[in-house]
Amino acid sequence: MLIHKGGHLGALAIGVATLVITLAVVFLLLAKVAANTDVAADNNASAAVRVLTTDTYSIVTWVGLVIIVAIGVLILGLVRMIRQ
């Protein structure tokens, strides 16, 4: 069903790709902010950047889970299509 309709899997792939690119940009920006000498000199700012980076890393584990679920749905769709 998912393969015949076509749009759902493509939309999921575009969404995951957009999320991965956005996270890459966020991590690059956080690395630049952390390397800034003014931020490094301020303990509160350094702690805030570390907390934000750590919390953002937890999103990455969810992206992996979404990809695994999408692959599982694709395999189940293929099995269902073969059985019919």
d(C-alpha 72, C-alpha 17), whole Å: 18
Distance in angstroms (rounded) separating the CA atoms of residues 51 and 70: 30
* DSSP secondary structure code for residue 29 in this structure: H
Structural domain boundaries, residue 26: 2-83
8-state DSSP, 65: H
pTM flag (> 0.75):
no
Q: Kindly list the averaged pLDDT for each block of 10 residues, start to end, along the chain of length 84.
A: 57 80 86 77 80 82 81 82 80
Structural domains counted in the chain: 1
